[in-house]
Structure 1
Amino acid sequence: MSDFIAEADREILARHGLDSFDALWALRLEAVDEPNTGRGGWSSVFRLDLGDTAYFLKRQSNFLSRSPLRPFGEPTFAREFRNIRRYQALGVPALEAAFFGTRQVDGERRAILVSRALDGWCELVGWLDGWDELSVRSRSAILLAVAGLARRLHEAGQLHGCFYPKHVFLREAGAGFEACLIDLEKTRPLLLGWRDRVKDLEALVRRADAWGEAEMRELLAAYLERPRDSEEVNDWLARLVHRRRNKERNQ
């Protein structure tokens, strides 16, 4: 069976004897959190340090998702890997896959996904926790980076589906910030126009407790590339507020 190995990681994995599915499956590591045991199987995440290069190794067994195209299910990592490759092809900043493979062993469906660790990056959640201590310049730079990431994603015709602060990573770059996305399993093409775009943005701002209307306006102004007091920003802000109220009403 053919496995995917990124060219940039092939030599590193081979040097440590980890350029095969069996070697990665057998490797003993301590999980970074409790295994996910939903979907009738399990899925675990491990940190893998190989010299100066760090990865996250994810393994799962019988942890499947189903869709009209795949009614009998497939490992959730398979969908995430396809989306990682799609983001790469579309030029949307996201985590990078180093290895992917699947196996069927005595009726057990196994999958492995290895991605580069985002060392040097920080979840947006971390920046939000210290939001009040940040300078005005830093706050604006973060909002600009997040808005630019969302615009780039949507201009590529993609809905993230889980556009939460914990899935947006940032790192300082020059006078500003770079941003990228993780957790791409629920990504799908934009099908409902502005409604899908609002869905992503509202999911973000609803969980960004440190942001008030001023931050939302600044985010939308950068996303839409319009002045903060423009009719377009006013309209989108109203859409976000309306969706949030509907979500809260239905909880």
Structure 2
Amino acid sequence: MIQYQLPVAGKLSDVFIKRQENHITRNRSHCIKGTPTFQREYNNIQQLRQHQIPTLEPIFFAAYQTKAILITKSLTGYQSLEDLSPEHLSLQERHSLIIEIAKLIQQLHSHHFQHNCLYPKHIFIRQQTDQWEAKLIDLEKLRKRLFKKQAMTRDFSTLSRHLADAWSTADRMRFFKAYLGETKLSEKSKRTWRQLTKKMLQKRR
């Protein structure tokens, strides 16, 4: 992925240009030849944007046989969650960030989308005065699930494992409550929390 400046809407803008060749994805519709992986990412970006889920802004896409190019507007002012040092945040900033990310993931799952690769480096954040903005990137593996809980289980497990050193148990609980919109967990939510925690611990072994 390379960053350039290109004219967009009559003015120069920072963009990311991603090129690929001989990297294809097979599915039921294209089980033999497959389609360029960036085609799937572009389609997924468009799906999220249709549902007003914060993500990348595509500027140009083209594909020919196994070649593809995808150009998106640069996320100027954003940084990945992976690159953020929690110790540099006040307690209030930390709490508001966790809540904002929880709202983003809840919005994703409410439409039965599963990111399927929800690492901290795939969540980009930007602090605006006293609030945060968050966007999802790298949507090549995004998929629809029949049940929302399937998406939640997979994405929570992945994100929790990779934030284990940065987020405390209290942080993860705050995230979970914000995701559910509960100030106090119901018995059903407590059972789900225990299931998710058990799954995360099993994966870390």
Question: How high is the TM-score relative to the length of structure 1?
Answer: 0.75
Q: Deviations over 1:112-146 (max 9, x none)?
A: 1001111101111122xx21231100100110110
Moved more, 57-66 or 190-199: 190-199
1:209-246 deviation digits (Å, cap 9, x = unpaired): 21121001100010000025543543332122121133
**Alpha-carbon shift at residue 175 of structure 1 (Å):** 1.6
What is the identity, as a one-letter code, of the residue corresponding to 2:62?
G
State the Cα deviation string for residues 188-212 of structure 1 (Å, max 9, x = none): 1122431321211121111012112
Partner residue, 2:2: 46
- Larger Rg computed on CA atoms: 1
**Aligned with residue 132 of structure 1, among 87, 98, 116:** 87
1:61 offset after TM fit, Å? Answer: 1.2
User: Which of 78, 95, 101 is equivalent to 1:121?
Assistant: 78
Moved over 4 A (4+): none
| Equivalent in the alignment of 1:69 | 29
User: Equivalents in 1 of 2:192, 2:136: separation in Å?
Assistant: 23
Equivalence for 1:84? 45
Secondary structure in structure 2 of the residue aligned to 1:154: helix
Does residue 219 (structure 1) correspond to residue 179 (structure 2)? The answer is: no
CA contact (8 A) 1:61 1:110 kept: yes
Q: Secondary structure at the match of 2:62?
A: strand
Instruction: In structure 2, give the amino acid aligned to 1:247.
Output: K
Give 2:109's match in structure 1, choosing from 154, 162, 165. 154
Structure-2 change in CA distance of 1:229 and 1:197 (3 Å):
closer
Instruction: Work out whether residues 40 and 140 of structure 2, in 8 Å CA contact, stay in contact via their aligned partners in 1.
Output: yes
What is aligned with 1:40? none
Among 180, 200, 225, the alignment partner of 2:155 is 200
RMSD: 1.6
Residue of structure 1 equivalent to 2:127 = 172
| Contact map agreement 2:112 2:148 (CA 8 A) in 1 | no
Equivalenced residues, count: 199
Output one character per residue of 1:151-194: Cα deviation in whole Å (capped at 9) or x when no partner. 11011221111111000011112421011100001111122431
Checking the alignment, whether the CA contact within 8 Å between 1:93 and 1:179 is kept in structure 2 is yes
Report the counterpart of residue 22 of structure 1 in structure 2.
Answer: none
- In 2, distance between residues paired with 1:140 and 1:74? 41
Tell me, what secondary structure is at the counterpart of 1:67?
A: coil
Determine the C-alpha separation between the residues in 1 that align with 2:29 and 2:134.
32
Report % sequence identity: 34
Q: Distance in 1 between matches of 2:145 and 2:186?
A: 25
Q: 5+ unaligned residues in a row in structure 1: which ranges?
A: 1-44
Q: Secondary structure at the match of 2:158?
A: helix
Question: What code does the residue aligned with 2:28 have?
Answer: P
2-side partners of 1:53 and 1:231: how far apart?
50
TM-score by length of 2: 0.91
Confirm or deny: 8 A CA contact 1:226 1:232 kept in the other structure: no
What is the aligned partner in structure 1 of residue 16 from structure 2? Answer: 56
Letter in 2 for 1:75: P
The answer for the alignment partner of 2:197 in structure 1 is 241
